[in-house]
Structure formats: C-alpha cells, structure tokens
Amino acid sequence: MANLQTRSFPSPGGPPRVACYNHRVPSPDSAKYRKLVASPADTGARLDRFVATHCPDLSRTRVQELIASGLVLIDGKAASKGSLHLRGGQKISVQVTERPPIVAEAESIPLDVLYEDDDVMAINKAAGMTVHAGAGNVSGTLVNALLGRGQSLSQAGDPLRPGIVHRLDKETSGVILVAKNDAAHAKLGEAFRQRAIKKTYIALVRGALAEKSGRIELAIGRDPIHRTRMTTERKSWHRGTIANPREARTDWKALAKLGNTTLVEVRLHTGRTHQIRVHFSALKHPVVGDTLYGAAGELRLGKRTLPKLGRNFLHAAKLGFAQPRTGAWIEVRAVLPAELRNFLKKLCDAAGEPQSRIDAALAGYL
C-alpha cells in the first residue's frame, strides 16, 4: 500500500489497534479529478464498467460507491446509477476522494487452531470469514480474531495484515498459516516464493472430467472488464488484454464422479488469486457453488434438484511446510467441514451412489 503511514494506539483490555493513514489529510482541494470522454465505440457501454476500465486502479465496486456518492458526473450532472448507458462524445468526470482510515480491532471470535508453536500457527479457517480487513469489511476477519487472542503476531508486511503470510478466499475453508514473529514471517514468505510450501485442496467441480488427472498451465491476470474477477489468457482474448498476466500451474486428480460433478484433489504449484476457481472455470468445469465464476445455480441429477450449497465447494485440506526455526517438516490437515460432507451425502443419495464410495475416495480428509 503506497504512501501510507501507520499508527498504533491503546485498546482497553486488549492489544493495540492498528490504523492505516494516507500522508495527506483529505480535503476538497486534495481530491483527484479525472476526465474521460466516451468515444463512438463506447456507445451503449455501462457507466460503471466504462469508468472501471479506464481507471484500472478503481474496482467496479469502488466506482459504484463513487457514483452513489454523487462523485461521477456525465456532462456536468451527477450520474444517478452505474447501469446508465453512455453515448459517444459524453464527458465523464470522476472525483476520487480519500477513504477514512481502516482500523483492525481485536474481537472475540473462536478459532480452530490446528497447530501452534513459538513461531507459527495453523488455523482451520471457516468459509465466510475474510482473512483481513479491507474497504467495506473491517470486522469479523481472521486478523480481528487473531488480535482478540492477545498474542504476538509478526508486523512485517502490510500493517493491516499482522501475521498473515498468505490468504484463502472468503468462501474457501481450510488450513491457513500465521506467523507469530517477523523472523518466521520472512522464512515462510520466502518458502512461498520458492514454492516450497505444499498445498492440497479438495474441490467439487461441475461436469465429468474426461481424464483421471491433469495439469492446468494458464497464466492468470485481472479481468479487463470485471475488475473483481481474475481470468486466463484463454478466456480473455476477446475481452481485452490482461494486465500483467502471471504464470500459474495447477495439478489435479479425479477422486470420484458423482452424477454431473467430479470430486478432485488439487495441488497448487503457484498461488495466484482465485487460481483453482479460475483454472477450472477456464476448462468449463467451474467449482460448485462459485457465484463469481459461473457455477452458482442448483445441481440437477435426473429429476432431482439439490439445494444451493451457499459457498464454494473448495477446501484447503492439507498444508506442508518447514518449521521456520528448526527446518523440521510439518504437515497440517483440516478435515472436510460438515456442510461439505452433508452436501456430498445428498449428492450420493440423488445419484444412487453408496456413501462408502466417497468415504473411500476421501480417506485422510474426513
């Protein structure tokens, strides 16, 4: 986070809170004004998408916030909504204001600690929990819960992410590592960069995969249209150029086929944002329950319809790493959560498959 300074201040009955500030004090004079003009080719484009495309540092969500605050003008008049369709020649003015500082506060939130020593913790993160605070999401995160434990955490890296050396998506459950001191943070960070951390996931994807195993090697970058999404070069060629695509490699093995789904074991060799979800979506086998990448609907097996899962069927089941101080190899496992096991049971019942077949396929993960 560029041009930021941090400040710690006491919190009654707990560890200090951490706030993140811009160097300049926000004022009308310091606001940034951006001028855009819609070309004839932009006729019919949505306002929010147009602005997000031409201001790559602004997410579409942020653009919609600015529109709702009356800070986006079309020909001098405040735009009423982001879905307005533009005409060629219209002039768009965008006033980008400073956001108030985000504060990470200690909160009493139960955590499932799988492993802990003087240097590192391994947490079984629940689906629905965000790893760290961000705009519009400052409470109920893993960082809030860690601060609530009142223990030391590494302060290396982003001040709003104490202890955090890697992330899991909000709707992904399973093992996540936390560094308790700066030395451990540095060692673990280097291990991730060197791809020395072994990460294994369990996922349920739509459709029957043709092979028993495979490797997906598709570079991943930010979607040029939908800024909250990532995409591969394969899927974005007709949508625009990906900004800074990065290599990504995913290995998978089919564990069982259930109706029109496949249960897979996935091993990551790189750690790109949404990597598993993006890669399987590119193969037209999106992760079940993934609302962002095309698998949000109900599953149908013959005449039966299964209720929506309500989360991604993606679980970080196993993580292996070298203890940062001693080098001893440690492997941590998180069993498949109850809601995923129950969903598999319903799927087995609908497909007429014995539950024992799935239990055997998931040996070591239940």
Which residues are tagged catalytic? 169
Q: By CB neighbour count within 10 A (0-12 exposed, 13-18 middle, 19+ buried), where does 53 fall?
A: buried
- Three-state SS at 36: strand
Cα dist from 93 to 30, 75, 84, 306, whole Å: 16, 8, 15, 47
Q: By CB neighbour count within 10 A (0-12 exposed, 13-18 middle, 19+ buried), where does 61 fall?
A: middle
- Quote the CA–CA distance of 249 and 269 in Å, as a whole number: 6
Q: Give the CA count within 13 Å in the CB-facing half-sphere of 250.
A: 26
Q: How far apart are the first and last CA of the chain?
A: 40
Q: Two tokens at 118?
A: 């003087």
Tell me which residue has tokens 């590119």.
Answer: 282
